A and B are shown apart, each in its own frame.
Chain A
Amino acid sequence: MTAKALPRGKSRLRARSARGRPKGSGRGRKVLLWLAVIAIMIFCLFPFYWLINTSLKTGPDLSAANLVPPNPSLKNYDSIFSDANFITALRNSVIVASLTTFFALLFGSFAAYALARLRFRFKFVILAIVLSITTFPPIAIAAPLFKLWTDTGLYDTLLGLVPPYLTFSLPLTIYILASFFKEIPRELEEAALVDGATHFQAFYKVVLPLAAPGFVTAGLLAFIESWNQFLFAITLTSSPDARPVPAALAFFTGSQQFEVPLGTITAALVVITVPLVIVVLIFQKRIVAGLTAGAVKG
């Protein structure tokens, strides 16, 4: 669409402007631009590189700030993978994030469709409520939830983590899905309705398949949001069996006796981050589209 048309137009423009200007400043601009690009890449990637770098160091190397590990070793990775608590934490995070994503997509798509397409009263109020969740400070909910969950037995369970995670993933999910639903031409649903389908059938037979890319985006973002949750993770769990990864990291005592757990913590972080980075890179177009859906149209 519009975005794709731009590059062609722009390169023609640049060629035109380069022709119309003295060569020096054109090249100067380009150099500056590439410098900026390189600076941005270093800025974004260096800490990540440092993370990997530190995870390959052991012992006294950890206290020295070498750019390349002098004695690279996979010992830290060995330690964390043989740490049952860490593996359990990974499993916990995956389970909770998956459950949350599933429900976020399910409930979110229903609500998004209603908001984007159906007519009813209080639409603006409901939208305001949903969006206002994004302004809630988690701490305001954490203590009451702690008490509630303790009394109902949901404390320290994976299931107990899903409701708060869901609440914080829903607004973005609804927002993204609603934007995608709005993109779909009304005529398709109209046609379905004429053919005798109910609104709900129009929803899941016509709209859902077309909005599939939106689901991928929203699902990814919901998953990442849940993965990142920290406050609820440390407040609503206490045993290794229910702890998700961020909480486990916070209380990482390290699997080695005398050494700073820095090596193991960074190894754990790499293990957690690399798959996420890979997924993000594969789906980068969708993610960006989803994040910017509202920003541009709004």
Chain B
Amino acid sequence: MRITRVMSAALACVALAVAGCGGDDEESKSAKKVDPGAADKATGNVNWCIGKDTTGTFSKAVKEFSSKGQVKAKLIELPEAADQQRTQLVQRLRAKSSECDVLGMDVIWTAEFAAQDWLQDVSDVVAKRKDDFIPSTLETAKYEDKYWALPYNTNAGFVYYRTDQVKQPPDNWEDVYSEAEKGDGLVYQGARYEGLTVNFLELLYSAGGKALSDDGKTVEIDSPEAVEVLKFMADGVEQGAVPKANSTYKEEESRRAFESGKATFMRNWPYAYSLGKDSKIADDFDITTFPKFGEGEGAGVLGGYDVAISAYSKNPEGAAAFAEFLTSPDWQRTIMTEASLPSTLTATYDDPAVQKAFPFAEKLRTAVEQAQPRPVTPVYPQVSEAIFKTVHAALQGDMPPEEATKTMKSEIEKALQTF
């Protein structure tokens, strides 16, 4: 069974052990592969474990899927914050629980989960429809040349602004901050969590900097660009362009602050657009592409969620069927028009209904195509922690930027050497 296979793989590794155990062949042999045809004949129940259904579309998906076919799906909501969702999923997977069949995975978890043999190999399923997806989104589902999930929704950051307070949206961050200082401020995700890593990396990428080298082996975060970006962000807090409360904000808190009229600018994902249109500032805001920083081009960080099949699922065929449903053109159009979740399928953006709901659909697709991923490594959680803990301290004024970047570098190096 599973466990004995993994055990024998581990034993084999230990036998070869001294030089360490890349052991890729052993691992991929032990990972289950999903047969694309099986989904058509699936029956039974599947559970979908994903974060809080803030827009109602998750429940809708489950209802619609269950009413159409043989497989009955159920939604199991995890906490709102991604890192708490991860902890919950990890706990279940470590316990080999079969409670979750389909996992809603933040794109940064793929490497980690796949490396631990917690996911089923869906390369064959993906191969059938490879050309439908936006290429950058497919990269998020890939680890060691195999596909471990289907891209469900993607995301790229945007800057929201109040049209009644700002005439012309600035095209660079320096102007955003100076206008924010004069107005009601800029809010973003400044709490001590993954979201802060995203916000920091976006500025860093826009400045032309990098966290890790392309091969993922060298740490490059200790650079003049990083120091500059960090200093810029810290000054923003100190000079009042960013409110102090921002250091506790995640996505929902910053959205609520912006929606209740407390801020002039907000950096957030596209999902806040349709929610904002339902709020009291519906007619007073708009969205603009990511501003530049210094000389560089505005560059976003690729976000989003993939749907994967748990290695411990008792109904992988049903799970595959559900995953296919979630990534079908019809449903992808629904999530875009009703939940402001950017689709991972290229064609969706050309749909007239989508373009109506998303006047900036073209820009969004381009942003997604050009967005850069966060560092891909099975120890990403620790790398991210090294970043957000240090950035948070720097933004509080507890650590000067130069020291912060050095600390980040040594912490990330330690993380990369994790056994």
Q: State yes or no: do A and B touch (Cβ within 8 Å).
A: yes
B-contacting residues of A (Cβ < 8 Å)?
A: 63, 146, 150, 155-156, 235, 238-240, 251, 253-254, 257-258, 260
Residue of B whose beta carbon sits closest to that of A260: B256
Contact A257 B97 (CB under 8 A): no
Having A156-B95, A251-B88, A253-B52, one finds 18 other A-B pairs with CB under 8 Å, namely A63-B260, A146-B95, A150-B94, A150-B96, A156-B97, A156-B99, A238-B88, A238-B91, A238-B95, A238-B97, A238-B99, A239-B92, A253-B53, A253-B77, A253-B78, A257-B53, A258-B275, A260-B256
Check: B165 CB closer than 8 A to any chain A CB. Answer: no
Contact B78 A239 (CB under 8 A): no
Check: B397 CB closer than 8 A to any chain A CB. Answer: no
Q: A257-B55, A258-B275 are in contact. Are A251 and B84 (CB under 8 A)?
A: yes
- The 0/1 profile, CB within 8 Å of A marked 1, for residues 37-66 of chain B is 000000000000000111110000000000
* Chain B positions within 8 Å of A258 at CB level: 54, 275
* Chain A positions within 8 Å of B94 at CB level: 146, 150
* Chain B positions within 8 Å of A251 at CB level: 78-79, 84, 88
A-contacting residues of B (Cβ < 8 Å)?
A: 52-56, 76-80, 84, 88, 91-92, 94-97, 99, 256, 260, 275
Question: Main SS of chain A's interface residues?
Answer: loop
Q: A63-B260, A238-B99 are in contact. Are A253 and B79 (CB under 8 A)?
A: yes
Question: Main SS of chain B's interface residues?
Answer: loop
Q: Within the assembled complex, what's the spacing in Å between the Cα atoms of A65 and B79?
A: 26
Residue of A whose beta carbon sits closest to that of B77: A253
Q: Within the assembled complex, what's the spacing in Å between the Cα atoms of A239 and B312?
A: 15
Q: Tell me, rounded to whole Å, the shortest Cβ–Cβ distance linking B271 to chain A.
A: 12
Q: Within the assembled complex, what's the spacing in Å between the Cα atoms of A238 and B91?
A: 7
* Chain B positions within 8 Å of A155 at CB level: 95, 97
Q: Tell me, rounded to whole Å, the shortest Cβ–Cβ distance linking B374 to chain A.
A: 25
Q: Within the assembled complex, what's the spacing in Å between the Cα atoms of A251 and B83?
A: 12
* Chain A positions within 8 Å of B76 at CB level: 240
* Chain A positions within 8 Å of B77 at CB level: 253
Q: A150-B96, A251-B78 are in contact. Are A257 and B84 (CB under 8 A)?
A: no
Residue of B whose beta carbon sits closest to that of A150: B95
Q: Within the assembled complex, what's the spacing in Å between the Cα atoms of A279 and B372?
A: 58
Q: Tell me, rounded to whole Å, the shortest Cβ–Cβ distance linking B278 to chain A.
A: 8
Q: Within the assembled complex, what's the spacing in Å between the Cα atoms of A66 and B31?
A: 56
Q: Tell me, rounded to whole Å, the shortest Cβ–Cβ distance linking A232 to chain B.
A: 13
Q: Within the assembled complex, what's the spacing in Å between the Cα atoms of A254 and B79?
A: 9
Contact B54 A239 (CB under 8 A): no
Q: Within the assembled complex, what's the spacing in Å between the Cα atoms of A285 and B246?
A: 48
Q: A251-B78, A253-B79, A253-B80 are in contact. Are A239 and B55 (CB under 8 A)?
A: no
Q: A63-B260, A257-B55, A258-B54 are in contact. Are A239 and B80 (CB under 8 A)?
A: no
* Chain A positions within 8 Å of B92 at CB level: 238-239
Q: Tell me, rounded to whole Å, the shortest Cβ–Cβ distance linking A286 to chain B.
A: 39
* Chain B positions within 8 Å of A239 at CB level: 92, 97, 99
Q: Within the assembled complex, what's the spacing in Å between the Cα atoms of A240 and B49?
A: 12
Interface CB pairs A-B, < 8 A, 25: A146-B94, A146-B95, A150-B94, A156-B95, A156-B97, A156-B99, A238-B88, A238-B92, A238-B97, A238-B99, A239-B97, A251-B78, A251-B79, A251-B84, A251-B88, A253-B52, A253-B53, A253-B77, A253-B78, A253-B79, A254-B52, A257-B53, A258-B54, A258-B275, A260-B256
Q: Tell me, rounded to whole Å, the shortest Cβ–Cβ distance linking A160 to chain B.
A: 11
Q: Tell me, rounded to whole Å, the shortest Cβ–Cβ distance linking B240 to chain A.
A: 23
Q: Tell me, rounded to whole Å, the shortest Cβ–Cβ distance linking A210 to chain B.
A: 46
Q: Tell me, rounded to whole Å, the shortest Cβ–Cβ distance linking A263 to chain B.
A: 15
Ranked nearest first, the 8 interchain pairs of A and B with the lowest CB-CB distance are A253-B52, A150-B95, A253-B77, A238-B92, A155-B95, A239-B99, A251-B79, A238-B91
Q: Within the assembled complex, what's the spacing in Å between the Cα atoms of A235 and B52?
A: 21
Q: Tell me, rounded to whole Å, the shortest Cβ–Cβ distance linking A74 to chain B.
A: 23
* Chain B positions within 8 Å of A63 at CB level: 260
* Chain A positions within 8 Å of B275 at CB level: 258
* Chain B positions within 8 Å of A257 at CB level: 53-56
Q: Tell me, rounded to whole Å, the shortest Cβ–Cβ distance linking A122 to chain B.
A: 38
Q: Tell me, rounded to whole Å, the shortest Cβ–Cβ distance linking B413 to chain A.
A: 27
Q: Tell me, rounded to whole Å, the shortest Cβ–Cβ distance linking A1 to chain B.
A: 52
Q: Tell me, rounded to whole Å, the shortest Cβ–Cβ distance linking A223 to chain B.
A: 27
Q: Tell me, rounded to whole Å, the shortest Cβ–Cβ distance linking B257 to chain A.
A: 11
Residue of B whose beta carbon sits closest to that of A257: B56
* Chain A positions within 8 Å of B79 at CB level: 251, 253
* Chain B positions within 8 Å of A260 at CB level: 256
* Chain A positions within 8 Å of B54 at CB level: 257-258
Q: Tell me, rounded to whole Å, the shortest Cβ–Cβ distance linking A174 to chain B.
A: 32
* Chain A positions within 8 Å of B78 at CB level: 251, 253
* Chain B positions within 8 Å of A238 at CB level: 88, 91-92, 95, 97, 99
Residue of B whose beta carbon sits closest to that of A155: B95
Q: Within the assembled complex, what's the spacing in Å between the Cα atoms of A156 and B95?
A: 9
Q: Tell me, rounded to whole Å, the shortest Cβ–Cβ distance linking B280 to chain A.
A: 10
Q: Within the assembled complex, what's the spacing in Å between the Cα atoms of A63 and B259?
A: 13
Residue of B whose beta carbon sits closest to that of A252: B79
Q: Tell me, rounded to whole Å, the shortest Cβ–Cβ distance linking B25 to chain A.
A: 27
Q: Within the assembled complex, what's the spacing in Å between the Cα atoms of A69 and B97?
A: 43
* Chain A positions within 8 Å of B96 at CB level: 150
* Chain A positions within 8 Å of B91 at CB level: 235, 238
Q: Within the assembled complex, what's the spacing in Å between the Cα atoms of A146 and B78?
A: 20
Q: Tell me, rounded to whole Å, the shortest Cβ–Cβ distance linking B76 to chain A.
A: 8
* Chain B positions within 8 Å of A156 at CB level: 95, 97, 99
Q: Tell me, rounded to whole Å, the shortest Cβ–Cβ distance linking B83 to chain A.
A: 13
Q: Tell me, rounded to whole Å, the shortest Cβ–Cβ distance linking A211 to chain B.
A: 42
Q: Tell me, rounded to whole Å, the shortest Cβ–Cβ distance linking A256 to chain B.
A: 10
Q: Within the assembled complex, what's the spacing in Å between the Cα atoms of A156 and B97?
A: 9
* Chain B positions within 8 Å of A253 at CB level: 52-53, 77-80
Q: Within the assembled complex, what's the spacing in Å between the Cα atoms of A239 and B92?
A: 9
Q: Within the assembled complex, what's the spacing in Å between the Cα atoms of A48 and B88?
A: 30
* Chain A positions within 8 Å of B84 at CB level: 251
Q: Within the assembled complex, what's the spacing in Å between the Cα atoms of A238 and B76?
A: 11
